[in-house]
Chain A
C-alpha cells in the first residue's frame, strides 16, 4: 500500500519536474555566420562624467587584439589616422558561458573595456572602436556639463524579458493544445523591452537636455550570457539618428548576480581608488546635480552605509539636487512591506536619506509604476522624501490588487504600466515625468529645491 503510494508520489513529482524543466525558453538562435565587427558599443559613466567615460563593446570572435578606441572632438568618419586620441582597451576577456547559453544558441562573446579621461565638459566626443583590425561605425556622445545648466536623465529599470516563448518541442507534442494555450496565453518575449527602448530613443532625440540613461537594474532574468546578450542586442537600438549614444549609468539588481554582469559592466576604480565593482558610487551630472547609485545586493549596513553617510554629508551642502537610486525598494508598492530585504533596505538607507534630505529616490523590483507620498519617519510628511519607480522597462507588469497602502495614496499611486522616468534637474525645480509604453505622459510632478547651497558651484577638480 505504502509502496504504491510512494511510487505514485514519485511519478507526480517527476512529471512536475519535467514540466518545470521543459518550459525554459528557446531563444531564437543566432545566425551561425561569424560576426567579426565590434558590437554592443556603449558608453558607461561613473563618478565624473564631465571628464571621464568608459567605452565598452563586444566581439564574437577570439582573433586577439589589439583592441583600441580612437576618439576626438570632431568627426573623422572612421579615418583612424585622423583621430587625435587613441586608447588601448584596458580590460578584455571571454564572457563566461554556461551550458544553457550554448543550448539557447548564443555565440561565444568577448568583452572589451577602455577608459578615456581628461575629457572636456559638455563636449561631443566622436569615436570608433577597433578589434583585430575591424572597426566599428563612428558614434559620438556628449560629456556631462560642469556648470549649472539644466540637465535631464532618463531613469528606468527591470528590463528583463517577459515570459519564455514556448514549451520545448518534445513537451509541446505531448501536451494537449488546450493546456498549452491556457498556460501560455500571451507570449510577448522581449517585445515590451524593445518598445520601451524605442520610447527612450524618442525621448532622447526630443529632449536635448537628456545626458544619460540610468538603469535601476535587473537587466535580464540572470546575468548569464544568453540573457545579457539579448539585453545588449536590444540596447543597441538606443541611438540617435546621427549616431549619438546615450551614456549608461549602471546599478546592480537581484537578478544580476552572476559573473557575466561584472564582465560586461566594468566600472574601473573610483576617484579615491576604491574598486567600483561594488556598484555604489556618486555621479556628478552637473555642478549642482548628483546621482547616487546604491547596491542592495551586497551588505547594506556595512561599508556601503558608512560611505553613503559620508558622501551625503559631503555633497548635500554643495549640490542643489541629490537623487538616489537602487534596485530593491524600501517602500514596495506591491511586494510584502515586511519582506526581509525591503525591511533591511528601509532600516539601513532611509534614515540617512531623511537626515540629509535627499530630493528624490528611485526604486525598482516591483514591476509596477509608483509614486509615494512624501515620507519621513515612516509617515506622510510634506517635508519628506518621494519614492518613484519600481521597474517597467519591459518586464511583465503586475496588477496592483491592493492599492490601500498609505504611502501610495493620492497624489501618490501604484498602477500596472510599463514606464520610464525623465528626471529634469532645473535651477528652480526638479521636474519628474513618467512616460508610458506609447510615449504618453503618465505622471508629471515637480519638487522644490531644499538644499541651501551656500557656495557658488565649482568645476570638478578631479582629473583622471
Chain B
C-alpha cells in the first residue's frame, strides 16, 4: 500500500468512527422520539380505526407494536449497528411519514415524505458509513436527506406555515418578552424560508464549511423551538428532529476529512 493510500484510509477510518458514533446516536434518539410521538399522538390509530374500520384494540395494538419495535431497534443499533436493523428503522420511519400523508390532519401533511427525509436518511447513511468503501454513498444519502428536509421546511416557511408563526411569536415572547405581531413573524419567516432553500441547494452544488455550521445551528434552533414555544413537555418533538442538526454535523465531519486529505495529499502529489 502506498503512503498516499495509507493516509487516505487512516483519515477515512478516523472520520468513519466519528461519523458512525454520531449517526448511531442520531438514530437511537430519533427512535426514542418516534416512540414518544407514537405513544402520545399515534401514527396508526386514526388511520386504521377511523379510516379503515379496524377495531380500536387492533389499531392500538399495531400502534404499540410499532412504537416498541422502533424503540427496541434504536437501542439495539446503538449497542451494535446491524445493517438489516438499520434498513428496518429506515423503512418504519418512512412508513410513519406515509401514514401521515394518508391520515392528514395537520398543515402540509401531504409533504411529510420530503419533510422527514433526514429521519429515514440517517439510518441509511449509517449503513454506508459502516463500510469504508461506501463513505461517499453515506455522504450523499445524508446530503439528499438534509437537502429535502431543509428545502421542504423552507417552502413551508415561505408559505407561512401556521405553526412556524406560532413558534416565532410565542418563543419570542417566552425568551425575550417581546411581543411579535403576526405580520413581523411572516416577514421573518419569508427570510428564514429563503435561507433554508439556499442552504438546501448549496450543500448539493457548493458545499462550504460555514453552511454546515449554520445548518447545525439552525437545525438545532428550529427543533428546539418546540420547547421554547410550549415548554419542556415537548421534548419528544425535539428528539424526533435530532437529524436536522446531526446530519449537517456528519456532513461537516466528512467535509473536514476531505479537506484534510486534500491538504496532506497535495504535497505528496507534488
Task: Please name all residues of chain B whose beta carbon is closer than 8 Å to the beta carbon of A339 when the two chains form the complex.
Answer: 40-41
Determine whether the beta carbon of A9 is less than 8 Å from that of B91.
yes
Instruction: Say yes or no: is A59 at the interface (Cβ < 8 Å to chain B).
Output: no
Binds B, one of A106-114, A295-303, A419-427, A456-464: A295-303
Per-position 1/0 for B145-184, Cβ under 8 A of A: 0000000000000000011011001100000000001100
Instruction: Say yes or no: is B18 at the interface (Cβ < 8 Å to chain A).
Output: no
Tell me, rounded to whole Å, the shortest Cβ–Cβ distance linking A303 to chain B.
5
Given contacts A254-B105, A344-B230, A347-B170, contact A6 B84 (CB under 8 A): yes
Tell me, rounded to whole Å, the shortest Cβ–Cβ distance linking B44 to chain A.
10
**Nearest B residue to A295 by beta-carbon distance?**
B162
Instruction: Say yes or no: is A87 at the interface (Cβ < 8 Å to chain B).
Output: no
Given contacts A9-B87, A344-B230, contact A20 B102 (CB under 8 A): yes
Given contacts A298-B162, A336-B41, contact A187 B230 (CB under 8 A): no
Give the docked Cα–Cα distance between A343 and B109 (Å). 20
Tell me, rounded to whole Å, the shortest Cβ–Cβ distance linking A304 to chain B.
8
**Nearest A residue to B45 by beta-carbon distance?**
A398
Task: Please name all residues of chain A whose beta carbon is closer than 8 Å to the beta carbon of B169 when the two chains form the complex.
Answer: 299, 301-302
Task: Please name all residues of chain A whose beta carbon is closer than 8 Å to the beta carbon of B185 when the two chains form the complex.
Answer: 299, 302
Give the docked Cα–Cα distance between A6 and B124 (Å). 12
Tell me, rounded to whole Å, the shortest Cβ–Cβ distance linking A405 to chain B.
14
Given contacts A16-B95, A302-B182, contact A23 B49 (CB under 8 A): no
**Which of these, B83, B88, B181, B233, contacts A2 with CB under 8 Å?**
B83
Determine whether the beta carbon of B87 is less than 8 Å from that of A160.
no
Instruction: Say yes or no: is B72 at the interface (Cβ < 8 Å to chain A).
Output: no
Tell me, rounded to whole Å, the shortest Cβ–Cβ distance linking B81 to chain A.
13
Give the docked Cα–Cα distance between A255 and B58 (Å). 23
Looking at chain A's contact residues, is the secondary structure mostly helix, strand, loop, or mixed? Answer: loop
Instruction: Please count how many residues in chain B sit with their CB below 8 Å of the partner chain's CB atoms.
Output: 42
Task: Please name all residues of chain B whose beta carbon is closer than 8 Å to the beta carbon of A343 when the two chains form the complex.
Answer: 230-231, 233-234
**Nearest A residue to B105 by beta-carbon distance?**
A254
Determine whether the beta carbon of B165 is less than 8 Å from that of A13.
no
Give the docked Cα–Cα distance between A344 and B52 (Å). 29
Determine whether the beta carbon of B165 is less than 8 Å from that of A299.
yes
Determine whether the beta carbon of A185 is less than 8 Å from that of B107.
no
Determine whether the beta carbon of A188 is less than 8 Å from that of B226.
no
**Which of these, B53, B58, B83, B88, contacts A164 with CB under 8 Å?**
B53
Tell me, rounded to whole Å, the shortest Cβ–Cβ distance linking A134 to chain B.
36
Determine whether the beta carbon of A188 is less than 8 Å from that of B166.
no
Sample 27 A-B pairs with CB under 8 A, ordered by A number.
A2-B83, A5-B83, A20-B98, A20-B102, A163-B50, A163-B51, A183-B54, A185-B55, A186-B53, A186-B55, A257-B109, A299-B165, A299-B169, A301-B166, A302-B185, A303-B181, A306-B182, A336-B40, A336-B41, A338-B40, A338-B233, A339-B40, A340-B234, A341-B106, A344-B230, A396-B50, A396-B53
Residues of A within 8 A of B (CB): 2, 5-6, 9, 12-13, 16-17, 20, 23, 160, 162-164, 182-188, 221-222, 254-255, 257, 297-303, 306, 335-336, 338-341, 343-344, 347-348, 367, 395-396, 398-399
8 further interface pairs, Cβ-Cβ under 8 Å (given A299-B169, A343-B233): A183-B54, A254-B105, A302-B165, A302-B166, A302-B181, A339-B41, A343-B234, A344-B170
